[in-house]
Amino acid sequence: MACVNALFMPSLSMTNALLVLYITSQLQVSVKHAYLIYAAFGSLFYSSSLLGGYLGGRFDYKVAIICGCLLAGFGGCLVAIPSLTFVFWGLSCFIIGSGLVVPNLNCITGRLFSKDDPLRDSGFTIAYIGVNVGGFIASISSGFIANYLGYHAAFIASYLLLLLCLIIFLINFKRFEFYQAPHVRPYLPQVTFKNFLPIIFAIIIAVPVIAFLLNHAVLSNTLLITIGIIMAIIIVKIALNEKGVARRKLFGFLIFIFFGIAFWALYMLAPSALTIFIQNNVDRQIGNFIIPTASVYGLNPFFIITLGSLTSWFFFRMSKKNKTLPLRLKFAAGISCIGLGYVILVLGIAAHDNLGYIAFLWVILSYFLQTLGELFVGPIGNSMVGSLVPARLEGMMMGVWQLSTGVAGAISGFLASATAKAPSNKITEPLFTNHIFAHFFGLYGLVTIGVGLLIVLLTPQFKRLWDEDYHKLADSRKMA
């Protein structure tokens, strides 16, 4: 499964690393508009998992992944055509294709473990590392391919790997041994043409809709935030129809969605505002060599691979000792780390050189902290879905979790746009833009750290909300 994830990830990593640079430098889109387009792409990318998760759970996980890989690969070919119209249609195909693949791969990974398996978090972390092996290679190479062969070559090369991803998935699928929860239908149905029809029909409807929304980024981002609010109301309604621990856990799931939005909104500034900051305000020269801006994005998967092994080992060792770090504290640590990742950049800006450029070391430290935070929230968030929601709702709620990341992406578009205050003729002058980035990076970082501290302060309330042992103890004391 990690191998399949590793081959699917390059397409997303390449898009994240290159999209803003591509449409600003090659298609002459303004920086502010590029931020909004990327935010729309990011929000729709994650939100599409709601549809993909539903279709996979309702019809067939395997069929959804097959259709998703083929559609995403076709979208990559369209993005490579240097026209904003083709970019919108290509991104639309990629978004819907990824929405069919990502949540269903996560669900399949979750089926490898029971909900109370102490190795569950470590398993998701290992899968997360596998995803980022491909992401690291794609991110590092993307800048060099774009610089020497052109952006079209970079996009086409990355998306061709989707076909290899599909082939490996089909060859090895029957080798997976799933944990079968009671009263839940089998997760390895026969692939039939009948199962393809509703998914293909959904694709035909969804692709032009997504292309339209990408072309109207402000509308798209506003719509996604509105949908997020509606989904929160729906979750409350579903929770109220449940009883006891199931109800409390669903409310806990909703609370962590809000905290996750705070994390991902800041995280998704990296491919937009942070990329432009690195392009124009950071000294990327080492001797006579200049590091391509797009390749800097490779620091994220690099640290996931290296730090992920350590965190997976740490969680494994704790499980061996029958100890676990509570979910709430993992979230608090992750959110605080990403906040520190942006606060550290403010210190770097304060230490800029005579021309206004900051040392590349500050960017490395920022990505280190951001990635450390991601390891506490990203894979653990995927694992959280299976542990907090009823089995019959897992496919849908995995999509809701991805949707919450989409809402965060929409919010990040507005956060990034706030940093684009410099006139077009001054945007490449670090002495002019440093104070703008310092103000907003510091503001966003401190607010996010505050959210992390709030989680710690509310720990007793969280424990009362859904801790089964707590309520058993309370009930026994009442009976005594």
Residues 144-164 as b or e (16 or more Cβ within 10 Å = b) = ebbeeeebbebbbbbbebbee
pLDDT score at 421: 83
Q: Which residues contact 293 (CB under 8 A, 6 or more apart)?
A: 21, 143, 275, 278, 279, 284
Residue predicted with more confidence, 10 or 176: 10
pLDDT score at 117: 61
pTM confidence score: 0.79
What number is the average pLDDT over the span 396-400? 75
Residue 343 pLDDT class (50, 70, 90 cuts): very high
pLDDT score at 368: 95
Q: Cα–Cα distance between 385 and 380 in angstroms, integer?
A: 9
Residue 192 pLDDT class (50, 70, 90 cuts): low
Q: Which domain holds residue 266?
A: 2-179+194-479
Residue 256 pLDDT class (50, 70, 90 cuts): confident
Q: Which two tokens stand for residue 54?
A: 């539903």
Q: Which residues contact 434 (CB under 8 A, 6 or more apart)?
A: 281, 349, 352, 356, 358
Residue 480 pLDDT class (50, 70, 90 cuts): very low
The proportion of the chain whose per-residue pLDDT surpasses 90, expressed as a percent, equals 21
Residue 165 pLDDT class (50, 70, 90 cuts): confident
Is residue 205 domain-resident?
Answer: yes
Q: At residue 67, does pLDDT exceed 90?
A: no
pLDDT score at 459: 72
Q: At residue 318, does pLDDT exceed 80?
A: no
Answer yes or no: are the C-beta atoms of 384 and 253 closer than 8 Å.
yes
Q: At 30, which CATH number?
A: 1.20.1250.20
Q: At residue 106, does pLDDT exceed 90?
A: no
Is residue 188 domain-resident?
Answer: no
Q: Cα–Cα distance between 74 and 67 in angstroms, integer?
A: 11
Q: At residue 153, does pLDDT exceed 90?
A: no
What number is the average pLDDT over the span 338-356? 93
Is residue 143 domain-resident?
Answer: yes
pLDDT score at 197: 79
Q: At residue 61, does pLDDT exceed 90?
A: no
Residue predicted with more confidence, 47 or 268: 268
pLDDT score at 111: 62
Residue 344 pLDDT class (50, 70, 90 cuts): very high
Residue 400 pLDDT class (50, 70, 90 cuts): confident
What is the chain's mean pLDDT, rounded?
A: 80
Is residue 343 domain-resident?
Answer: yes
From the number of C-beta atoms within 10 Å of its C-beta (0-12, 13-18, 19+), residue 377 rates as buried
169-191 pLDDT tens trace: 777 666 655 444 444 444 444 55
Is residue 44 domain-resident?
Answer: yes
Answer yes or no: are the C-beta atoms of 335 and 377 closer than 8 Å.
yes
Is residue 144 domain-resident?
Answer: yes
pLDDT score at 401: 80
In this structure, of 151-165, 349-363, 454-468, the range with the lowest mean pLDDT score is 454-468
Q: Cα–Cα distance between 87 and 31 in angstroms, integer?
A: 16
Q: What is the DSSP string of 189-242?
A: PPP-HHHHHHHHHHHHHHHHHHHHHHHTHHHHHHHHHHHHHHHHHHHHHHHHHS
Distance of CA 277 to the CA centre of its chain: 21
Q: At residue 349, does pLDDT exceed 90?
A: yes
Is residue 184 domain-resident?
Answer: no
Answer yes or no: are the C-beta atoms of 403 and 48 closer than 8 Å.
no
Q: Which residues contact 347 (CB under 8 A, 6 or more apart)?
A: 362
pLDDT score at 425: 72
pLDDT score at 332: 87
pLDDT score at 479: 43
pLDDT score at 190: 53
Residue predicted with more confidence, 446 or 173: 446
351-383 pLDDT tens trace: 998 999 999 999 999 999 999 998 888 767 766
What number is the average pLDDT over the span 316-329? 72
Count of domains for the chain: 1
Answer yes or no: are the C-beta atoms of 338 and 370 closer than 8 Å.
yes
pLDDT score at 184: 43
pLDDT score at 57: 65
Q: At residue 444, does pLDDT exceed 90?
A: yes
What number is the average pLDDT over the span 284-297? 87
Residue 121 pLDDT class (50, 70, 90 cuts): low
pLDDT score at 173: 64
